Structures are given as C-alpha cells and as structure tokens.
Amino acid sequence: MNLNIKYQLFKNPFPHIIYENFLSEVEQKEILNEILEVDNKNKVNKVMGGRYQYPIDLFNDECITKKLFDFFNSKKTFETLRKGLLPNVETSEFYLENNKFNKFLNKKNFYHKFLKKIFPFIFKKSFFLHMDFSVAKNNYFREPHHDKETRIISFLLYLNTTEDNDGGALEIFQFRDKERYEQFPKQDKIFIEKKVEPKSGRLVAFLSCPNSIHGVQKFEPKNNEKRVFAYGSYTSFFNVEWLRKFIK
C-alpha cells in the first residue's frame, strides 16, 4: 500500500487522480481472497442494483484487509490525497477553504450523533472515514449521481480485473448546463466525459463536490464472475460547504 507512486491527475470535469498498482500483487490477492471468503460466509442484503457490502467489522485484526482499512483510516492518508488533488484548485470550479477539515476522528461512534446536537461547534471541522468492501454481481450498475453532501473525498479501489466487455467501468459525467447541479441528474442534462475501467490494484480518488457526477456501467459477466472493490469516503458530520469559482 503506497501513495508515494506516480499517478495521473485530471481537472475535468472535476478533480480526480488515478493510481496504478497501488497494491502489490501479493497484497491484492490476499485482500481479494479475504473479501471473497467473507462473501461466502455472510449473507447481506443486495443494494444499489447488485452490490453486496461488507463492513470492516467482519474482518479480524490479522487480516490484510484490516491493514488496508487502517491505512486509509488516518489523517495522513487524507492529507496525501487532498494534496494530490490541490494542484487543480485554481482551475477547479469547486474548492474548499484552507484548513476546512483538520480534526480527524479515526472512528465514528454512536455517541457522536448526540454530541453533535449538543456541541455542534466541536464537529464543524471534524471528519471520519466511511469505508466498505463490496462484491458486485450480475447486472450491478449505478445511475449518474454525486455522493452524499457530507462527503469530502471519495475513492474506489479495484481488487480484480474481469473479462473484457463485461462492463462495470466507472463513468465520469459532464453537465451540459453549469447553472444548476443536481445530485441525480437526468440523462439529457449530462454526457459521459470518460470511462475508467476496473483494473486490479487501480485506485481512483476525487473531490466529492457538487459536479462530481459519476456512475457505474452495467456489469454483465459472461462467466458468472464477481467484481470486487473497496469504496471509501472521508466524511464530514455536516453537509460540506463548497466554495464555487465560475470558470469560462
């Protein structure tokens, strides 16, 4: 697990970065096997059109999957990703004020919900990691959307490569009209800017700003394959207030 490697930085239609070979081949195989083992042993409800989500609590402390979670569950990793996205701030339509989020909680618990109501000022600059490990099966897809308004930075880590033409690519969209951004825009309001294929060890991170519309191409495996990945987001206790710069 290493973020000190070469990555590609993109500014359109919203800041996002792509790391190749974030995991070593050994790490990737171990994590993949652990998630598939959990998938075989546990029954969870299908969500989002064909996705089965497994929280970190289902993995023991000796699992490399737990080490992966611990890697992302740190302010250091958050700052590394944010700095990677920062070069686009001058040309990005949305950005955050300096030092907006500086209080990292390495675990959100039940009591924070009540403390937030009593002492909201304590949590104004606080954030935490939300992360799950997912197995997508036949016909999994996601309609164009941007994540919850509490998200700051979101990321996807692909843990296997499926057959060509199986689908399941990350679709990144551009708005036709930049006057109004909706969380779930209609198809005639957007168009596909690019597709990012799910490739083993590929990490994609992006600012979860109002124009970060993305979706997942329908996954239609020919040989009953599974698409295994991790999703994470650094999340505020309140809706994120993005600053907007109008760009011609």
Q: Is residue 155 part of a domain?
A: yes
Q: Give the Cα separation of 60 and 18 in Å (integer).
A: 29
Q: Is residue 153 part of a domain?
A: yes
Q: Give the Cα separation of 180 and 210 in Å (integer).
A: 9
pTM value?
0.92
Q: What is the identity of the amino acid at 155? A: F
Q: Is residue 1 part of a domain?
A: no
Instruction: Give me the pLDDT at residue 86, please.
Output: 72
Q: Is residue 174 part of a domain?
A: yes
CATH number of the CATH domain containing 157: 2.60.120.620
Q: Are strands 203-207 and 151-158 parallel, antiparallel or unpaired?
A: antiparallel
Q: Can you give the pLDDT of all 248 residues of the chain as single tens digits?
A: 888 888 899 988 999 999 999 999 999 999 999 999 999 888 888 887 789 999 999 998 899 999 999 999 999 999 999 988 876 555 678 888 777 898 999 888 777 877 777 878 888 899 999 999 999 988 899 999 999 999 999 999 999 988 777 889 999 999 998 878 999 999 999 999 999 999 999 999 999 999 999 999 999 988 888 999 999 999 999 999 998 876 55
Range of the domain at 206: 7-244
Q: Is residue 2 part of a domain?
A: no
Q: Is there a contact between 155 and 203 (Cβ–Cβ < 8 Å)?
A: yes
Q: Is residue 239 part of a domain?
A: yes
Q: Is residue 58 part of a domain?
A: yes
**137 CB-side CA count, 13 A:** 9
Domain count of the fold of the chain: 1
